[in-house]
């Protein structure tokens, strides 16, 4: 074992920030699942809502990407 307590905190923090990506996956799955449920109820309206689907996925995913970025900054920049 080598390194100091600051590195330890850095790596633990990066791991904790990585958990955010998993939570964002829940959000993206929620968006896509609800879209599918709606699309199966009314398939004729599904095609017109794909743009909304992708916008929703993009917004949900952005926050997961932020946490990934925090993890990257902790690992390589701080």
Partner 1 sequence: MATDTGEGSGLVFHPMDQFIVKPLFGDGPVHWYTITNVTLWMAIGVLGIAAMLILGTSRRAIVPSRTQSIGELAYGFVHKMVEDVAGKDALKYFPYIMTLFMFIVFANFLGLIPMAYTTTSQIAVTAILALGVFLGVTILGFVKNGSKFLGLFWVTEAPLAIRPVLAVIELISYFVRPVSHSIRLAGNMTAGHAVLKVFAGFGQVTAIAPLSILAVTAIYGLEVLVAFIQAYVFTILTCVYLKDALHPSH
How far apart CA 70 and CA 29 sit, in angstroms, is 22
Residue tagged 């955010």 (tokens): 20
Using rule CB under 8 A, residue 76 touches partner 1: yes
Instruction: Pick one of 16, 19, 69, 78: the residue that binds partner 1 (CB under 8 A).
Output: 69
Main-chain dihedrals φ then ψ at residue 48, nearest 5 degrees: -75, -10
Rounded Cα distance between 76 and 10, Å, is 10
Residue selected from 8, 12, 36, 55 as contacting partner 1 according to rule CB under 8 A: 55
> Least distance (Å) from partner 1 to the CB of residue 68?
6
| Shortest Å distance, C-beta 37 to partner 1 | 21
DSSP 42: -
Binding residues vs partner 1 (CB under 8 A): 51, 54-55, 57-58, 61-62, 65-66, 68-69, 72, 76
């Amino acid at each position: 074992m080598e390194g100091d307590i600051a590195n330890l905190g850095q790596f633990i923090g990066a791991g904790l920030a990585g958990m955010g990506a998993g939570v964002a996956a829940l959000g993206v799955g929620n968006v896509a699942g609800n879209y599918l449920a709606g699309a199966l109820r009314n398939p004729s309206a599904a095609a017109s809502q794909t743009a909304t689907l992708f916008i929703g996925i993009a917004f949900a995913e952005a926050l997961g990407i932020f946490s990934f970025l925090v993890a990257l900054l902790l690992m390589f920049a701080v």
